[in-house]
Every structure is written in C-alpha cells, then in structure tokens.
A and B are shown apart, each in its own frame.
Chain A
Amino acid sequence: MNPPADADVSPAVLTVDGFQCLIDELQRRGYRVIGPTVADGAIVYDDLASVDALPRGVGDAQDAGRYRLTRRDDEALFGYAVGPHSWKRFLNPPRLKLWSSRREGDGVRVEPAPEPRQPLAFIGVRGCELRAIAIQDRVFLGGRYVDRPYDVRRRGAFIVAVSCGTAGGTCFCTSMGSGPRAQGDFDLALTEIVDAGEHHFVVEVGSDAGREIMAQLPSRDATSADCRQAERIVAATAASMGRSLPAEGVRELLLDNLDHPRWDQVAERCLSCANCTMVCPTCFCSSVEDSSDLASEETARERRWDSCFTTDFAYLHGGSVRATTRARYRQWMTHKLATWIDQFGSSGCVGCGRCITWCPVGIDITEEVRAIAAAPARTGGSDHADGHAQD
C-alpha cells in the first residue's frame, strides 16, 4: 500500500448509500469483501454482500469475562468495539494446507498448496487492528524468511479502516498508542458521524488505491466542520477508556520478575483454555500436522493455529518444557509484553482488550501488570540483599 502520490488529498464525506457503492466498487474490482456482521450473538468478520450485512444499530457491552450485544438508540454501522474475530483469520487462516505430496514411481513430488485467487478487502479495521496487522507484518514479512501464505494475502489486501466512536469496556488502545483513531497503513479511513439526523462518514485517503476507489464513489469534500466533528468523536472515545498499560518499562518489569508470586496466583485462576491467544490479533503461533492416505501415496502438511497454553506446545523428549499453567501464562504474557520486543522490535500488545473480554474467568492483563509493578520482587527472593544466592 503506497501513500498517495500527491499529498493534498483532502478528506471527503461519504453517505451510507455511498458506503454501499464502496462495497460494490470493491467487488467489481474482484475483491473478496469482508467486514463485521452479527453471528452467534457476537460481532464477527465475514463476507459482506452489502451494507445491510453490517451490524446497524448494534452496540456491545464488554467487561472482563463478559460480552453482550446491545441495541443502540441510533443506526450506527460501526457503533461497537472489536469482537472475538480479528483480521489474522484471513491473513493467516486458522487451518491452511502448506503442501501436498504424491508418490511417483520410487520418488515423491511435493506440490505447494494453491494460492487464493481473490484479493481481500477488509471493511472496518480499527486502529488497534491496523497496529496488529503491522505487528504481524513484522513477524511474517520482516525477518530473514518470509511467510509466503501471509505475504500473498497481505500484499493484495485493501484496507478500509474505521476510527472508533465508542470505547469498548475492556479497551486500552489509548495507552498503547494504537487508537482509537485509525492511523497507519490503510487505504481509506472512516470516521462515522451519527448525529441529529445526520449519518455519514468522513473519509481520509491513505493510498493511491484508496484515492482511485474514492474517485468512483459519490462523495463531497469534507468541510473543516466535518473534520472537527470527526476529531471530537475520536477524542471523546479516547477519554472514555477505562484501562491502561504503562507505556514504558513493562519489558524490564516482567523479565526481572519471572519468579514473582503473582504468576502462582494468576495460575490458580487461569484455565489454560487458550482463548486469549485465539482472540488476540497478534498471536501468531502455529503448528503443523502431516497426514497421508492409507496407502501413503498422497501426503499433506497442514498448518493450524496453535497456542502456548496447550501442553504439547513446548514438548521436548517426552514431556512439556512448560508443564504448569503458571509457566504457560507467564510465557504468554511475557512474550506479548516483553520478549516480543526482543524478537520483533515492538510490544505484541495493541490494547484491544479481547484477551480480557474473552477470558472465561476474567483475567485482566493490565491488572496482572499492575500487580507485579506494585510489588516487584527480583528473582531469588523478596529480600533485597545485594548479590544473588549461589547455587
């Protein structure tokens, strides 16, 4: 996604009908258009045929371990926070065939799995999710080896971002600097304005592709009043956020407290269910499984999402390196907030709050950090005598 060639692409205003034109135009150009819709009592991401599939007038109530859809008293299309899905399920599908092999004579021929033909268009990507995609970009594309399935899907993707007009009950993107304003690598970014009979979107163009598409849509130039209104909405969302993580020092805090008693306490609550890793928009761990037909003529390797909460994740020589829930929770949280920085140059957390909402026992990552910060104890005991005990 290249930034637009000429810098003075001024914001535009798109109506709800114009929004339908956006979906139509993307489909006309061959995109598989995906966006939020209601299914099974939650906002999920799925194929969108029209603007009518969007959760119009739907809101949500979220808290630690709690998620409910609500009825808004307006017709907003994006009047809710993020749900259990994130875009990683399209960029890095939960199950993905990597290759298959076929026996030929006394040899074997390996065939890479076919690549998807349709490019992806994402509608309603929030600020935290733009950050999450950028983080996964660094994991899958930024190292010595490029993950081909991710690369193929990511390269062609068209991103319609949406700034948040409502803070979710577990959000803390403001403290992570990732939202509520949509910023970063998008093609178009929308702020929805539903106010006193008005219902439209202020659209910011983020790329040449975005500008091309906008040129096809019925829109008008945004006035400075439109832009100010959009800014006010985002500022109000930022101000209404109830949780936060410290901006700095979390890495050192956690790595200095790998034997903190808090890990034992959280382990008493944690069910090791892996929900947090499944809903996290940056968790990327995967495993592979080989299969074959009965005659071993054809075999295949499939990649599937894995989680550091499963017991065989760190299997080595007949046992798990992390046999206890304490060790697995510690691995997840220290990876997310600390060692991710060592491995990929940034925190792995975007402040979306999903892990808090979808934890069946309501473990709150921000609360866990606060608890350790409140009583840091260096490895080796709580007695701050100088020097460590020798073995």
Chain B
Amino acid sequence: MPTAMRRIDQIVREHRFFAGLTDADVDLISGCARNVAFAAGDYLCREGQPADRFFLLRHGRVALEIAAPGHGALTFQTLAEGEIVGVSWLVAPYRWQHDARALEPTRAIAMDAKCLRGKCDADHDLGYEMMQRFVPLLVQRLHATVLQALDIYGDAHKS
C-alpha cells in the first residue's frame, strides 16, 4: 500500500505516543484521528478558540506562541516530531491558551478531542492508558517551565 494511502490506524499505531496500546484500543482511538498537514506559517490553533483537537506531530516543527503588546509573538516552546501540541483539550473549558504555528511544513495526526474524551469516559481503562501517556508529558512541561521561569542564565559561569 503506498504511503500516502496508509490507513489512519496504522499511522496512529506507529506514533511513539501510542506505543504499547492494544490493537483494540488503537482501533477505538483511530476513529477520532485524522491525518493533517500544515504549511510553514500556518496556525494549528489560536488562543481563545475551542480546544477541540490536539496534534501528534509526525514531521516538522511547531512553535507555541503568546502575543504580547509591543513585543510581538513570544515563543515559549518549540515542539518536534513525536511530540504533542495541545493539552487544553483535557480540562474544561477546553479553550486554547496560546497559538501554535508551524515553523516548517508539518504533518500531524489531529485527534478529535470531544470524540476521544467520550471514548475515555465510556472506557476508563482506555482513559487510564491515555492519562498514563499525558501525565508524564505534563510533568515534563511543568519542570521545563520552572527552569525557564528561573531565568538561570543571568549568572556567569567562571566569572
């Protein structure tokens, strides 16, 4: 089967975020998944809009930005292949708190958040599998945020 025509469940199965899921779970999740592509400069999401999707990056790079008056867009994180864009879909009121912009041609799996939340609600085992994948990511980002907030590079090394 040519690559372009690969079925979405195959693409989902290959993404490292879903490694270890049972075939049944992959089938279930794939029902919420779509294959998407963005050109450089395209926005994956915009601040304030409903967080009805999240993205598993397959190729390319994405910048998470917040616009500040007088400063333009401030990038606080860039994400690459294998990583996830978007956590706002996990908790109410499900709205994006930042922009996400493709820095280069980017391909991703877009997960329908409402669909996935519904499946997790119906099947808590699946929900647990999902949480096990999301929580480490959230903790990692929290740690990274701490380090960024400390602004540690003001100090000289070997002064």
Is chain B in direct contact with chain A in the complex (CB below 8 A)?
yes
User: A225 CA to B159 CA in the complex, in Å?
Assistant: 66
Residue-wise interface mask of A (298-324) relative to B, using a CB-CB cutoff of 8 A (1 in contact, 0 not): 000000000000000000011000000
Chain A residues with CB under 8 A of B151 = none
**Smallest CB–CB gap between A263 and chain B, Å?**
26
Q: How far is the CB of A356 from chain B (nearest CB, A)?
A: 38
Number of B positions contacting A (CB below 8 A): 3
A337: min CB distance to chain B, Å? 31
A317 to B152, CA, bound (A): 11
Neighbouring B residues of A317 by C-beta, 8 Å: 155-156, 159
- Alpha-carbon distance between A18 and B78 when the two chains are bound, in angstroms: 86
With A and B bound together, what is the CA distance between A317 and B156 in angstroms? 7
Contacts of B156 in A (CB 8 A): 317
**CB-CB < 8 A to A318: which residues of B?**
155
Per-position 1/0 for A312-341, Cβ under 8 A of B = 000001100000000000000000000000
Which residues of chain A come closer than 8 Å to B155, judged between CB atoms? 317-318
Q: How far is the CA of A318 from the CA of B159 in the complex (A)?
A: 10
C-alpha gap A317/B155 in the complex (Å): 6
Complex Cα gap A318–B156 (Å): 10
| Assembled-state Cα–Cα distance A173/B159 (Å) | 43
B56 CB, nearest partner CB in chain A, Å: 27
A96 to chain B, nearest CB (A): 26
Chain A residue at minimal CB-CB distance from B139: A391
Interface residues of B in 135-155 (CB under 8 A from A): 155
B158 to A: closest C-beta gap in Å: 10
Which residue of chain A has its CB nearest to the CB of B154?
A317
Encode A156-187 as 1/0 by CB contact (under 8 A) with B.
Answer: 00000000000000000000000000000000
Per the 8 Å Cβ criterion, residues 12-50 of A in contact with B are none
A318 to B155, CA, bound (A): 9
Q: Which residue from chain B places its CB closest to the CB of A318 in the assembled complex?
A: B155
CB distance from A140 to the nearest CB of B (A): 26
Shortest CB-to-CB span from A315 to chain B, Å, is: 10
Cα of A240 to Cα of B155 in the assembled complex, Å: 55
A390 shortest CB reach to chain B, Å: 10
A337 to B87, CA, bound (A): 52
A317 to B159 CA separation, bound complex (whole angstroms): 8
**What would 4 A/B residue contacts be, using CB atoms closer than 8 Å?**
A317-B155, A317-B156, A317-B159, A318-B155
Chain A contact residues, CB within 8 Å of chain B? 317-318
